[in-house]
A and B are shown apart, each in its own frame.
Chain A
Amino acid sequence: MKKHAITLTVNGEDRDLVVSSNRTLLDALRDDLGFTDTKYGCGTGECGACTVLVDGTTAINGCLTLAATMNGKSITTAAGLARSGNLHPVQQAFIDNDAIQCGFCTPGMVLKTISLLDENPKPTEAEIRHGLEGNICRCTGYTKIVEAVQDASRRMSGAGE
């Protein structure tokens, strides 16, 4: 298998690594770089537990992305969201709305929400639900997650204006 020397900027820090052509971004992040906050839930792009952000705001499934294609890109995982000890408003909204139970979907769900709110800062409830279709949660029935996204939308638009 061909090897590729690549550089990923993960949560603001440059990481050099050598990956096989078939190495997924998920495996590279988890096993090569230790970012275990990115979760394996299905490996087929159905559940979104491996969601990461590329270049700040684009949400992708780490399990469907080959690491070699991400050379030179900036990747954000849940571990890279807090700023000087303060959680990202989306993270805080998930906590404040009891939107976290087992937590396994949470990193992906939070990152997907950031991407969604970047595209559409004031989504309707239906738009939120549609936007989260690629992220499975088996604990919450999505109720409190939707409430958290609505809350985050309010907080972020309030802070930005």
Chain B
Amino acid sequence: MNDLTIVGKRVERVDVRAKVTGGALYAADVQMAGMLYGKIVRCYDYAHARVIKLDLSKAAKCKGVVRVLGPNDVTKKEYNASVLDMMVSADMRGVLGDIDDQNIFTDHVKHYGDAIAAVIATSEEAAERAAEKIIVTCEELPVYMTAEASKHPDAMQFRPEKPGNLAFQLPEMAFPNNTYAWGEVDDSFKEADIIVEDVFYVSKQKQCQMEPGAYIALYDDQERLNCWTSTQMPKLVQKKLANLFELPMTRVRINATVIGGGFGARLGMVLEPETCALAMAVPGRPVKVLSTREEDWVTSPSRHPGKYWMKMGFKKDGTPVACDAKFENYKGAYYVDASGTAFTTGAWLGGMYKFESLRYRGESYYTNQSICGAFRGYGNPQTNFVMEQLVDRACDKLGMDPIAWRKKWHKTVGDDGWCMGVPYNSCALDECLDRAAEAIGWTEKREKYKNQTGVKRRGIGVAVMNHTSGAMPMLLEHTVCDVLLHQDATATINLACSDMGQGSHTTLRQVAAESLGFPYEDVYIATGNTDAAGFDIGAHASRTLYVGGGAVKQACEDVKRQLFERAALELDEDVNNLYMEDKIIHVKGASNKSISVLTIADQGVNNFMNPENGELIGQPGQIKGYASFFPPHNAPPFGASIAEVEVDMETGEVTVIELVNAHDVGRAIHPGIVEGQLDGGAQQGLGMALTEETYYDDKGICLNNSFTDYKMLGPSDMPKMTNILVENSDPTGPFGAKGVGEAGIVPPVGATANAIFNAIGIQILEAPITPEKILKALEKKGR
């Protein structure tokens, strides 16, 4: 693959000119004639309450108000905003136990910010003013903010079909004893010389994508439901809305607008149901619903927080014999991704090290928190925080170097991957570890930071991770792509894949141009219209380049095949005796015999008849390539991070001095885009380790749903960063590429925690590792 001309190049991204001039249209920027504005009335006084009286009458009389809607004025059909139920077979859906438990508007408030009613008015301000006139009278109910509280036998039941408020546990039918396991864990522990065990807490991190939710819906004159949204999953949202409003898919159209960041917050539906319900109430008028930042915070899903117990056993020589773990997450008020994350958190654990035996239990409990769902990494950052700290504790006890131990015991090619039965097919983690260690000076610094005294203490820590490219075989992986060859020999690539800002439309265009053998300028990626585009499961699980790229490559190869077949007919040659260069198809060894792609493309469309002899000129029919692509694997990305920190022993403050990330990316289709994913992932991973958590008071009122009160690392907080791209081509990825969208967030979490352990000799068991927790731990140790 040395003759690649576009893959591997830092081409200009397709969307940046529009973004840098402000011409890119995000959903909030779309204006339409006759636009109405919807304001959703939410409960901000209670996290759990029964609405006993809802008085809409005053609001209805306000200036500019068109309609006021309560729970009885919209469909009462329950739904599940997540899309996991569409990613598994009907049988599996039953096994997993996904349920529909959300309403457009509710009379049973289950979390801070739950939706009760809405106003439609002629301006945003009029809608807001009228919304304030809606009188809601509530009866307060007890709140359950943790799994421990909601599983209590006396707790109120969130759903009758989920006794004990256990929304999900690994189902017996697919996971014997409700465990994801291999070997005999209890027996294996008997062989252990050293056991490490603790209960950790992992935090409720928020995606904080820069664009707050914004939606427009229009039920038009053809009785079609149109929705403008920056969703990550246009085709699944189309189907979800079709189901909810009982319409055929032909009557639901998603116009996917430019996405201002997703990171999982736009996975599945967010406020599309509410906005569409408003539009259905005023046919013919577009209705725009804009979330405030505070509102977006509590209505889009967050990362799953919860208690994470883990126990590991090792032999004296370091052999990992057993790992036992249980993640009890504080699911939130509705089901959404209860099954997905509870499983994958264990899958990433199982996919990392060669434990003789392993047993993982994942349980999701309803709580009165805002919903939890997908967030970059999907359980992997949680596992990294816990697993990697325990491994380092064991290495400390065993007197082994954490990098040397990891190199010896991580899973690799041929070992069962994160999904048992699907072995890893490529792995360059050793090279990642070696190069990261060299870049940061691991050996010298580990030695130097032993036996420190003084106020400021340095530490250096490592963590590794495995992830995935697409969710095959657990979930459906499928992308449809068609390629239209125009008569001027340029090509439009039509598919539904979203670009959330990660750069997928650029890398897909690179894959298309490379596969067609056309210049980058001669291909265009067309997306955003669910009428035209075939199926795509959506942007999740680091899949867009791997699966979408696979579809693009196959559809482009289909075009190329047709071009060669026609050239063979025109040139009267065997198709295997042809080659293409600069869009001209030549006969091998016969320099005078050739035909251009332009001629074939033009003749296919303009298939004129020669008036003298009545013969058609060239081969008729416009060429269109097609692929309905199911990937053969999940091309696992691997990665390692090494962090160096400085801890102030008097204030507990942690400064990250340096972070090196080395990732096995298969092949970097666009190195700048890959670096960008690792950079941005690191900012979020460091944030999870050090500062990011959603806080509630004891009534369940959210205390920090704003940029003022939720601390993310800013430009001055970020360390010196180095990214090392290890290009170990995956046999199944397009041009060898693996998914890299989520990988970057994962190992900085464990590496930072381990660097703090290295600096102060104490492990902090709760994320984020704040100065208060460090001081408390130091004080406890001092005593």
**Interface residues, chain A, with chain B CB atoms under 8 Å away:** 30-31, 34-44, 46-47, 49, 77-79, 81-82, 87, 91, 94-95, 98, 100-107, 110, 126, 128-130, 132-133, 136-146
> Is B610 interfacial (CB 8 A cutoff)?
no
> Is B706 interfacial (CB 8 A cutoff)?
yes
Count the B residues whose beta carbon is within 8 Å of the partner chain — how many? 57
> Is B624 interfacial (CB 8 A cutoff)?
no
17 further contact pairs, Cβ within 8 A, besides A40-B290, A95-B17: A42-B707, A44-B293, A47-B707, A78-B20, A87-B17, A98-B676, A104-B210, A104-B501, A106-B19, A139-B501, A141-B679, A141-B721, A142-B679, A142-B714, A142-B718, A144-B672, A144-B676
Shortest CB–CB separation between residue B614 and chain A, in angstroms?
50
| A105 to B210 CA separation, bound complex (whole angstroms) | 7
CB within 8 A of B707: which of A126, A136, A144?
Answer: A136
Selecting from B132-140, B183-191, B258-266, B406-414, the interface stretch reads B258-266
> Is B420 interfacial (CB 8 A cutoff)?
no
CB within 8 A of A104: which of B26, B672, B673?
Answer: B26
Contact call A102/B21, Cβ cutoff below 8 A: no
> Is B208 interfacial (CB 8 A cutoff)?
yes
Scan residues 6-50 of chain B and give those whose CB is less than 8 A from a CB of chain A: 10, 12-13, 15-26, 28-29, 31
Query: Hey, which chain B residues are within 8 Å of A38, CB to CB?
Result: 22
Contact flags (1/0) for B666-692 with A, using CB distance below 8 Å? 000000110110011111100000000
| A138 to B500 CA separation, bound complex (whole angstroms) | 12
Which secondary structure characterizes the binding site on chain B? loop
> Is B212 interfacial (CB 8 A cutoff)?
yes
CB within 8 A of B501: which of A78, A94, A101, A144?
Answer: A101
A40 with B259: in contact, given A79-B23, A81-B21 (CB under 8 Å)? no
A136 with B706: in contact, given A41-B210, A100-B16 (CB under 8 Å)? no
**Interface residues, chain B, with chain A CB atoms under 8 Å away:** 10, 12-13, 15-26, 28-29, 31, 124, 207-212, 258-263, 290, 292-293, 500-503, 672-673, 675-676, 679-684, 706-708, 712, 714-716, 718, 721
| A87 to B16 CA separation, bound complex (whole angstroms) | 12
Contact call B708/A46, Cβ cutoff below 8 A: yes
| A39 to B12 CA separation, bound complex (whole angstroms) | 24
A140 with B293: in contact, given A37-B21, A91-B21, A95-B12 (CB under 8 Å)? no
Contact call A143/B716, Cβ cutoff below 8 A: no
Contact call A143/B21, Cβ cutoff below 8 A: no
For A38, give the chain B residue with the smallest CB separation: B22
For B17, give the chain A residue with the smallest CB separation: A95
Contact call A49/B20, Cβ cutoff below 8 A: no
Contact call B672/A98, Cβ cutoff below 8 A: yes
Shortest CB–CB separation between residue B676 and chain A, in angstroms?
6
Shortest CB–CB separation between residue A107 and chain B, in angstroms?
5
A36 with B28: in contact, given A139-B676, A143-B679 (CB under 8 Å)? yes
A98 with B675: in contact, given A87-B21, A126-B716 (CB under 8 Å)? yes
For B678, give the chain A residue with the smallest CB separation: A141
Query: Hey, which chain A residues are within 8 Å of B260, CB to CB?
Result: 39, 102-104
| A82 to B17 CA separation, bound complex (whole angstroms) | 11
For A94, give the chain B residue with the smallest CB separation: B20
CB within 8 A of A136: which of B207, B210, B259, B290?
Answer: B210
CB within 8 A of B209: which of A77, A100, A138?
Answer: A138
Contact call B680/A101, Cβ cutoff below 8 A: yes
- Sampled A-B contacts (19; CB under 8 Å): A37-B22, A40-B212, A47-B707, A78-B22, A87-B21, A91-B20, A98-B10, A98-B672, A102-B259, A103-B16, A103-B19, A126-B716, A129-B716, A130-B716, A132-B714, A142-B679, A142-B683, A143-B679, A143-B718
A141 with B718: in contact, given A95-B12, A95-B16, A98-B672 (CB under 8 Å)? yes
| A130 to B718 CA separation, bound complex (whole angstroms) | 11
Contact call A107/B715, Cβ cutoff below 8 A: no
A132 with B715: in contact, given A102-B210, A106-B19, A138-B210 (CB under 8 Å)? yes
Contact call A79/B212, Cβ cutoff below 8 A: no
Query: Hey, which chain B residues are within 8 Å of A82, CB to CB?
Result: 21
| A100 to B715 CA separation, bound complex (whole angstroms) | 15
Contact call B680/A145, Cβ cutoff below 8 A: no
For B501, give the chain A residue with the smallest CB separation: A102
Contact call B21/A139, Cβ cutoff below 8 A: no
Contact call A79/B21, Cβ cutoff below 8 A: yes
Contact call B19/A100, Cβ cutoff below 8 A: yes
For A82, give the chain B residue with the smallest CB separation: B21
Shortest CB–CB separation between residue B35 and chain A, in angstroms?
10
Query: Hey, which chain A residues are within 8 Å of B31, CB to CB?
Result: 34, 36
For B28, give the chain A residue with the smallest CB separation: A40
Query: Hey, which chain B residues are within 8 Å of A137, CB to CB?
Result: 210
For A145, give the chain B residue with the smallest CB separation: B715
| A68 to B31 CA separation, bound complex (whole angstroms) | 24
Query: Hey, which chain A residues are within 8 Å of B18, CB to CB?
Result: 103
A78 with B21: in contact, given A47-B210, A139-B501 (CB under 8 Å)? yes
